Amino acid sequence: MKKILLSIVSACTLFWFSSCIDEPEIYANDNQGNFEALWDIIDTRYCYLSYKNINWDSIHTAYAQKFNKNTSEQDMFNILGEMLAELKDGHVNLYSDFDRSRYWKWFTDYPDNFNPDLIYTDRYLSDDYQIAGGMRYAKIANGKVGYIYYGDFSSYFTDANISYILNSFRDCNGLIIDVRGNGGGYLSLAGQLASYFFSKETLTGYMQHKNGNGHDDFSKPVELKTSAHKTIQWQRPVIILSNRHAYSATNSFISRMKLAPYALIVGDKSGGGGGMPLSSELPNGWMVRFSSSPMFDAGMNHIEWGIDPDVKVDMSSEDQTNGYDTIIEKAVQILTR
């Protein structure tokens, strides 16, 4: 009888804890309910409130005064979008059938440090460049330097693509990989591209996971390692060109390449975007995407705000007028001096 009673108590205790911790609160499908649902999702699941020193309670007070039950759907969307912009996070978006909120100041408040028209001039890619797996490549600087422009980590490439590209540059002094303007894509591709430049598996970062509703409730850091490709390895100088529009998976790639043995980061600080995003739904069906798992470099430093270059270079307006890309020219100078 005691064993039966103990089993019942244990089952009830398990049910009580799972109900308290796991079951989300149910909100009404009206302006107030959607506001509270969104605020609660960020309060309990967004990963950077403490790191960014954001007082989310004061945000609630300020934005709760901006609407009432008669506020239109479009105006309510705009209010919620403005509230999310307080997070200053390019990974945070609100999606409806008629619009998507976004925060772009992570790059629009900074110099472009990239002119896509310049890289297609005769001095660089020209108009007879080759294409392999989303990468555009050619020899520049009188054949002394290999140049790759990769603009989207959602564009797949294969080992065969990379093998052909690197083999075509076998007689060059070094290699430039230009990821300026690359807003991200798949983290797996960032790891794959980095693997061609490591000679051994290397610890290149960490990740944590949210494991509770508190702002500081995280798991222990999980190691993120970059493997070395078994057969394709470029063990010679490689320069990565960066600017503020290098974001998310591109930011992760740059962070990894900081530890590649022959790599150098040249240009501007990357845009950041160090949080792995998740999505959740509001009562009215709108979806919110938010950063849920923070990522760090190998020294356990947050990469949310971007990666500093090894050599800081800004584009010169005079160079652009004369048809030169200042950042590419600096990379060429380093590789050929």
Query: For the chain, what is the mean pLDDT?
Result: 93
Residue 274 tokens read as: 């160090």
Residue that wins the pLDDT comparison between 14 and 292: 292
**Residues with Cβ < 8 Å from 97, sequence gap 6 or more?**
none
φ/ψ (deg, to 5) at 224 = -115, 120
CA 315 to CA 70: how far, in whole Å? 50
Provide the 3-class DSSP secondary structure of residue 233.
coil
φ/ψ (deg, to 5) at 149: -110, 125
Position of tokens 């409730």?
217
DSSP readout, 183-213?
Answer: --B-HHHHHHHHHTT-SS-EEEEEE--B-SS
What CA–CA distance (Å, rounded) separates 139 from 165? 10
Structural domains of the chain ordered from first start: 118-278+291-336 (3.90.226.10)
From residue 121, alpha-carbon distances to 165, 172, 322, 325, 331 in Å are 20, 20, 12, 10, 17
Q: What is the pLDDT of residue 168?
A: 98
pLDDT digits (tens, 9 = 90+) for 105-159: 999 999 999 999 999 999 999 999 999 999 999 999 999 999 999 999 999 999 9
| Residue linked to tokens 């509001």 | 282
- As given in the structure block, the two tokens for residue 283 are 């009562």
For residue range 210-220, list pLDDT tens digits in order: 999 999 999 99
Q: At 96, is the secondary structure helix, strand, or coil?
A: coil
Query: 238, 259 in Cβ contact below 8 A?
Result: no
Q: What is the pLDDT of residue 25?
A: 80
Q: Of 142, 293, 276, give the one whose Cα is nearest residue 217.
A: 293
- Triad 321, 120, 261: Cα angle to 5°: 100
Pairing of strands 275-281, 287-297: antiparallel
- The pTM for the full model equals 0.91
The pLDDT of 74-98, averaged and rounded, is 98
